Amino acid sequence: MIYLIILGTMSGLCEGAGVLPDGPLNAPVGGTVMFTTTLTPSDGPFTVVFWKFGIKDIIRYDPTASIPHPDYEGRITFFPSTASLELRDLTLDDGGEYAVNIIPGFLQGDTRLDIYEPVSSATVTPPSLDLVEFNSSARLSCSSSGSVTSYVWMNGSSEVTASDRVHLTDGGSNLTVVNVSRYDQGSYRCRVFNPVSDVISDPVIISVSFGPENVKMTVSPSQNLYKEGSDISLTCSAESRPPSLQFFWFLDGEQLSDTGPELRLMNIQTTQSGNYSCQAFHSKTMRYETSQPSSITVLQKISGPHVTPSDLTIEGNPVNLICDASGSPTARKWMKDGSDLIPNDNIALSDNNRVLSFNTVNRENNGDYLCTISNPVSSSEAKYRMDVMYGPENVRITGKDNVTVSEPIKLICSANSTPSATFTWMLNGTVIPANSPEFSKENAELSDGGIYTCEALNYITDRRSSATFELFVHAGSIQPSGLSAGGIAGIAIVCLIITAAAAGGGYYFYRRKSNLNTDAHPMNNTENKENLYEEISAVYENVKAH
Ligand SMILES: *[C@@H]1O[C@H](CO)[C@@H](O)[C@H](O)[C@H]1NC(C)=O
Ligand SMILES: *[C@@H]1O[C@H](CO)[C@@H](O)[C@H](O)[C@H]1NC(C)=O
Ligand SMILES: *[C@@H]1O[C@H](CO)[C@@H](O)[C@H](O)[C@H]1NC(C)=O
Ligand SMILES: *[C@@H]1O[C@H](CO)[C@@H](O)[C@H](O)[C@H]1NC(C)=O
Ligand SMILES: *[C@@H]1O[C@H](CO)[C@@H](O)[C@H](O)[C@H]1NC(C)=O
């Protein structure tokens, strides 16, 4: 015995596993294991070899006889040249300690054999998971038959590693993903191992719904201001899984009856102005998300622009010109006589240029005013002609101030006035009939002389102003011109006749005489007078002929 130990120590073969490699050896149930020694034929020949399993002999070999234990009949093959042993048709009972002793040399070796049931039919439960992001945990469990020594979980083609939110428990057979995210969606498999086999499960699908998020509203055409009557289309989009979403629409926070991803606003009216937003709803995650609002402002086209003065534009009065229109005006601009209107001490603009104010209007303000009234979708202009009302001023009477009886009188009165003045004539302070600016009379009489007054009235300014004029009417002698000496003599004769007739003709005779000198109009009045006239004419013609 002591010899054996010393020998073994010296040869180094007795140490540890000896002539057998380090174990354990692994083999599946039903499989075959080969206990291969480290010896070679040159180490032999061996005279005696014992193989033992625990305390039980497997085989005793010597060159003359090789006797297997009955339990191993047919299941073993011994290799005399290396003292190796093959064991077949393994059962779980074959697992344990194996040893070999060899003579000569007292060589010894031992090792362990582990028998494993091969793993099979790995299954993951549940067969699928339909989860909501950030709301659920995923729990998967792996089971299989056979003697399992380890589990590996596969997420797609990569191995799942444990972390804060990925927990592997029960030796790795359970996988828990806490608070799943969209990125955890995928196919998961479990892979089951033991030293003699491995098997992988069918994939199970973890679906993770999420969203809606990034809810966006697109307005087409895209602008801030729209003309009344425009057609606008609003489209809502969002990201989610699965992609089907419900959409709702809001105007200034109030839900509209419309649903669906597109809201069409046809023939839009100003009352539809406001902030639009859309809301997406996901029936699986039961989550809502609303887009940013988009402001839509509908403007009416400007129409019927007009400039209206606040008061009569009477010189010296304060007046406002007001520029208005229907529609939705946002800007107004004033021009005068084709140039931009520049406010000054007397002229001011207020109420966003709606009102043009004159402290006092005066004639310098006369002109063509143009108010351009606009909004971003239209523009229109209104004209106003300013004629400041003033006067009357500079009332004057023109005409001959010296007339002879029977000569015409023509006096014209004028005044500076807007609107034009109306005139009233007076003689010696008494109103006389006249044709407004003109006072005329065919034949002056002595009584037409006197002080004429013309009073001009501007019925708008309600101002009056007058002028006076002194007219002298002379009872002058008849002095026809352009006649021959004979003619003059004839006229002298006529005059004599006139003088003679004066007793019967009086005033009218005188008048007729005067007409004879100035024009040839037939006279009116009484028959007596007609006759007299004819007589005189005859005389006169006679005189001329001589
Ligand atoms: C789940 O994860 C999200 C994002 O990481 C986080 O905001 C949320 O608070 C988590 N929820 C729970 C219950 O842990
Ligand atoms: C699965 O893989 C994806 C990347 O492919 C990763 O983002 C995700 O976190 C993984 N999930 C788990 C539970 O391993
Ligand atoms: C639309 O929203 C903006 C800011 O979000 C706000 O200033 C504006 O007044 C809103 N418009 C209407 C019509 O409510
Ligand atoms: C979120 O989780 C809770 C508790 O687990 C559950 O009652 C609820 O239905 C889940 N929500 C959704 C939208 O799945
Ligand atoms: C007006 O007055 C003048 C002199 O002052 C007089 O000659 C004339 O007859 C008067 N005429 C009338 C119509 O009163």
pLDDT in tens, 458-494: 999 999 999 999 999 998 765 544 444 444 444 444 4
Predicted confidence at residue 538, as pLDDT, reads 53
Q: Are 77 and 26 in contact (CB under 8 A)?
A: no
Predicted confidence at residue 104, as pLDDT, reads 80
Q: Is 44 in the pocket of ligand 3 (CB under 6 A)?
A: no
* Residue 183 Cα: closest atom of ligand 2: 7
The rounded mean pLDDT for the chain is 86
Domain boundary residue, one of 386, 409, 434: 386
Ligand 4, CB within 6 Å, residue ranges:
132, 135-136, 285-286
Q: Is 134 in the pocket of ligand 1 (CB under 6 A)?
A: yes
* Residue 179 Cα: closest atom of ligand 1: 1
Residue 50 lies in a domain: yes
Cα–Cα dist 37/57, whole Å: 18
Residue 271 lies in a domain: yes
**Residue of minimum CA distance from atom 9 in ligand 2:** 184
Cα(186) to centroid of ligand 4, in Å? 20
Q: Is 143 in the pocket of ligand 1 (CB under 6 A)?
A: no
Cα(363) to centroid of ligand 4, in Å? 83
Mean pLDDT over 224-244 rounds to: 94
| 285 and 239, same domain (yes or no) | yes
Tens-digit pLDDT profile for residues 333-370: 999 999 999 999 999 999 999 999 999 999 999 999 99
Cα(207) to centroid of ligand 2, in Å? 12
| 196 and 234, same domain (yes or no) | no
| 215 and 190, same domain (yes or no) | no
Residue 7 lies in a domain: yes
Cα–Cα dist 299/114, whole Å: 89
pLDDT band at 536 (very low <50, low <70, confident <90, very high): very low
Which residues touch 245 (CB under 8 Å, ≥6 apart)?
A: 211, 212, 238, 261, 280, 281, 282
Cα(442) to centroid of ligand 3, in Å? 82
Domain boundary residue, one of 116, 141, 175: 116
Considering every ligand atom, which ligand is closest to the CA of 426? 5
| 36 and 56, same domain (yes or no) | yes
Considering every ligand atom, which ligand is closest to the CA of 210? 4
Nearest by Cα to 230 from 159, 297, 155 = 297
Cα–Cα dist 48/34, whole Å: 20
* Domains contained in the chain, number: 6
* Residue 447 Cα: closest atom of ligand 5: 9
Q: Is 441 in the pocket of ligand 5 (CB under 6 A)?
A: no
* Residue 180 Cα: closest atom of ligand 2: 13
| 355 and 371, same domain (yes or no) | yes
Which H or E run contains 200?
Answer: strand 197-200
Residue 100 lies in a domain: yes
Cα(252) to centroid of ligand 3, in Å? 8
| 355 and 338, same domain (yes or no) | yes
Q: Is the pLDDT of residue 307 over 50?
A: yes
Q: Is the pLDDT of residue 507 over 80?
A: no
Cα–Cα dist 235/219, whole Å: 6
Kind of pairing between the strands at 463-474 and 450-458: antiparallel
Tens-digit pLDDT profile for residues 14-56: 344 689 988 899 999 999 999 999 999 988 788 899 999 999 9
Kind of pairing between the strands at 25-28 and 107-116: parallel
Q: Is 89 in the pocket of ligand 3 (CB under 6 A)?
A: no
Considering every ligand atom, which ligand is closest to the CA of 179? 1
| 353 and 404, same domain (yes or no) | no
* Residue 134 Cα: closest atom of ligand 1: 1
Q: Is 186 in the pocket of ligand 2 (CB under 6 A)?
A: yes
Residue 480 lies in a domain: no
Domain boundary residue, one of 283, 299, 315: 299
Considering every ligand atom, which ligand is closest to the CA of 272? 3
Residue 107 lies in a domain: yes
One-character DSSP codes across 223-247? -SEEETT--EEEEEEEEEES---EE
Predicted confidence at residue 77, as pLDDT, reads 94
| 23 and 101, same domain (yes or no) | yes
Predicted confidence at residue 542, as pLDDT, reads 53
Containing domain of residue 108, as a range? 2-116
Q: What is the CATH number of the domain that holds 454?
A: 2.60.40.10
Q: Are 173 and 151 in contact (CB under 8 A)?
A: yes
Q: Is 18 in the pocket of ligand 5 (CB under 6 A)?
A: no
Considering every ligand atom, which ligand is closest to the CA of 297? 3
| 8 and 110, same domain (yes or no) | yes
pLDDT band at 66 (very low <50, low <70, confident <90, very high): confident
Kind of pairing between the strands at 355-358 and 319-326: antiparallel
Residue 275 lies in a domain: yes
0.75 exceeded by pTM: no
Indicate the range of 87-96, 101-110, 124-133 predicted with least confidence: 101-110
| 13 and 41, same domain (yes or no) | yes
Strand partners, 251: 254, 276
Residue 479 lies in a domain: no
| 367 and 277, same domain (yes or no) | no
How is the chain split among helix, strand and coil, in percent rounded to 5?
A: 15, 50, 35
pLDDT band at 534 (very low <50, low <70, confident <90, very high): low
Q: How far are the Cα atoms of 24, 150, 152, 366, 381 from residue 194, in angstroms, in the given order?
A: 13, 7, 11, 110, 94
Q: Is 449 in the pocket of ligand 5 (CB under 6 A)?
A: yes
Kind of pairing between the strands at 204-220 and 232-241: antiparallel
| 55 and 126, same domain (yes or no) | no
Q: Is the pLDDT of residue 173 over 60?
A: yes
Q: Is the pLDDT of residue 525 over 80?
A: no
Indicate the range of 64-68, 179-183, 204-208, 253-257 predicted with least confidence: 64-68
Tens-digit pLDDT profile for residues 439-465: 999 999 999 999 999 999 999 999 999
**Residue of minimum CA distance from atom 12 in ligand 5:** 447
